Structure 1
Amino acid sequence: MRLIVIIPAYNEETTIADVIREVPRSLHGIDDVKVLVYNDGSTDRTVDVAHTAGADFVYSHPKNKGLAVTFKDALWKALQHGADVIVNTDADNHYDQSRIGELVAPVVAGEADVVIGSRNVKDLREMPFLNRNLNRIGSFLMTSFVGLPRMDVSTGFRAYSREAALSLGVYSLHTYVHTTLLSAQDLHLTIREVAIPARPVSRKSRLIKNIPDHLWKAGINIVRNIVLFRPLRFFGSVAVVLSAIGSVAILRFVYFFVFSDGKGHIQSLVLGGVFLIIGFNCLMLGMIGSSIGWSRKVSEEILTFIKKNSLNTPEPIVPAASQGQPSTYKAHSEDEVKERLKALGYIE
């Protein structure tokens, strides 16, 4: 079983060597441990330092493309290099790489597809006050409105099984942390959490350039994820609120019409009708979005199938994490791939 630790990096020449050297090269249940650094257009010596520190694979973007794109590309490269388990960590030494064994243990045992290294953010007093509380707010929103388990949804210290890495979708250009969890939940993958305290980071965040910019991007990202994965819940909630306001306005008109002289207050009727119509339209949007979601799932299934075959990857018949047993594999020939696509109606 091969473990590949992926490290997205952008101008991290001062810390990336410590991160690489701290990665344990011998772990229980793992035959081979490799380190893959994906440089996101750094302008410093990140690439040279990574090579010197012992990174097994180093790839680079010609220019900065953002964390989400870099993570997605690093994940794909790890799969191409035959990873059975993939761990993502940060290049700023925020996480304790010496505890990777604890992080991957549930995946190696077949008990989980995705494992989160929870930082217990509220106790990270060294983290800037605003950053700490923004993380907590993000976690609250994602767990309350989307239905994710209560965990540290913003941490990047995670372990993925090969099957999870092949299946997960990354739809954001800002950050991948929320999208991948929602995708994992949508795919009914098994998610586990392991408590692993993080270290303080002295430098300014590469992701948070300034607070207003981060609030805008993070807010848009969270709303987009909710609309993408839970459209009926999102638009349905808006519809309920608008319909309630409209109902109150109409009841006000009815009250004055019945118990008063019946004149005037027509504005309440008009306003109530407008709110009810908008609420109904929001409900319809939610139902349409939910229907489109089924098409997205079919597209994701096809994409996963194509990924597996482009990697010449055997397809598991029984997911190990679901059954608690080693998966049984079978290889697909080119003819079998064509037959499968014909059955799905995508080719003739």
Structure 2
Amino acid sequence: MKLIIQIPCYNEEDTLAVTYTDLPKQIDGIGEIEYLIINDGSRDKTVEIARKLGFHHIISFKQNKGLAKGFIAGIDACLHLGADIIVNTDADNQYCGADIEKLVRPILDGKADIVIGERPIDETKHFSWLKKKFQHIGSWVVRLASGTKVPDAPSGFRAYSREAALRLNVVNEYTYTLETIIQAGHNKVAMTSVPIRTNPETRESRLFKNMWAYMRRSASVIIRAFMMYKPLRFFSMCGMIIFLLGIALGVRFLFYYFGGSGEGHVQSLILAAVLMLMGVQTIIVGLQADIIAANRKILEDIQYRVRKIECNGRGR
């Protein structure tokens, strides 16, 4: 059983050594452990330090491409290197390396294909009160969109079985954390969470400039993923809301019309007709999007089969 621990890096010369030292050197049930970094266009000595520390594999981008691109490039490389389990962690030593054993245990026991580390958000001192609340709200929204019970959706500390990794596909360029949960929930992948520990903050997050920017970007990712994987439900909900608003305005017009003052509310009748028509059209768009989603499933299955043949041929 081969485990590869991947670490996306961008200018991490100050924290990479601490993160590396914290990684496990052996785990019961794992015969081989290797470490891989994805150098996302770093301009410092990240790669040089990684080589000195003894990282087994280094993937380098010539320029910064973002967390999502780095994550999926690492997953692809791990698959080609023959990984049976892939663990993703951060280069700033946010997560306790010793808890990697907790992450891989459900996979080793055959109980799950994806395991996500649940951080003690309410007890994390460097998280503001507002950030804690937004983390909980965001995770709740992802649970609704994915039909899962993941308590800490933004957590980047997670493990994938080879089978789950082969099916991964990230479309957005911002982050992989939310979209992959919605995707896994839609595809009925066995997923669970385990409580993990975190270390004191070593630097500020580079993923977003402030909390509002994080909320805006995360909301766009969730909405886009919901539209992709459950388009009929999404557009039907939007269409019904618009249609019901039109019905409400139509009832309002009829109330005034039968009251003898309908002539002064013709605008309401026109707006009601427009809203009802828009609602029906939105539902029709949902039906069309659902057909496209069915085709996407076929393409994802083809991608999975091609990736499996390719990776098994090179890594095994």
TM over 0.5: yes
AA partner of residue 17 (structure 1): A
| Number of residue pairs the alignment of both structures matches | 315
CA distance 1:304–1:268, shift in 2 (3 Å): same
Q: Match of 2:83?
A: 83
Whole-angstrom distance in 2 between the partners of 1:191 and 1:153 = 12
Q: Which sits farther off after the overlay, 296-305 or 126-135?
A: 126-135
TM-score (norm 1): 0.86
Q: Deviations over 1:151-203 (max 9, x none)?
A: 11100000000010011111110000011111211221100110113223241
Runs of 4+ in 1 over 6 A off after TM superposition: none
2:170·2:179 contact (CA, 8 Å) conserved in 1? yes
Name the SS for the 2:263 alignment partner: coil
Question: Counterparts in 2 of 1:184-203, with a 5 A limit?
Answer: 184-203=184-203
Matched, 1:45 2:33: no
TM-score (norm 2): 0.94
Name the SS for the 2:192 alignment partner: strand
CA distance 1:146–1:243, shift in 2 (3 Å): farther
Whole-angstrom distance in 1 between the partners of 2:213 and 2:26 = 41
Name the SS for the 1:5 alignment partner: strand
User: Where does the alignment leave 5 or more consecutive residues of structure 2 unmatched?
Assistant: none
1:40·1:64 contact (CA, 8 Å) conserved in 2? yes
CA apart distance, 1:138 = 1.9
RMSD between superposed Cα atoms in Å: 1.8
CA distance 1:128–1:23, shift in 2 (3 Å): same
2:19·2:91 contact (CA, 8 Å) conserved in 1? yes
Matched, 1:156 2:165: no
AA partner of residue 60 (structure 1): S
Q: Deviations over 1:189-225 (max 9, x none)?
A: 1001101132232412111134454343323222211
Whole-angstrom distance in 2 between the partners of 1:73 and 1:145 = 26
Q: Give aligned-pair identity as a percent.
A: 36
1 or 2 for the larger relative contact order (CA 8 Å, sep ≥6)?
Answer: 2
Question: Counterparts in 2 of 1:250-265, with a 5 A limit?
Answer: 250-265=250-265
CA apart distance, 1:264 = 2.9
AA partner of residue 225 (structure 2): N
Q: Match of 1:172?
A: 172
1:12·1:91 contact (CA, 8 Å) conserved in 2? yes
Whole-angstrom distance in 2 between the partners of 1:289 and 1:73 = 29
User: Where does the alignment leave 5 or more consecutive residues of structure 1 unmatched?
Assistant: 315-330, 332-348
Q: Match of 1:340?
A: none
Whole-angstrom distance in 2 between the partners of 1:287 and 1:130 = 39
Whole-angstrom distance in 2 between the partners of 1:114 and 1:203 = 28
Q: Match of 1:247?
A: 247
AA partner of residue 275 (structure 1): L
Whole-angstrom distance in 1 between the partners of 2:210 and 2:264 = 51
Q: Match of 1:12?
A: 12
CA apart distance, 1:258 = 2.1
Q: Match of 1:147?
A: 147
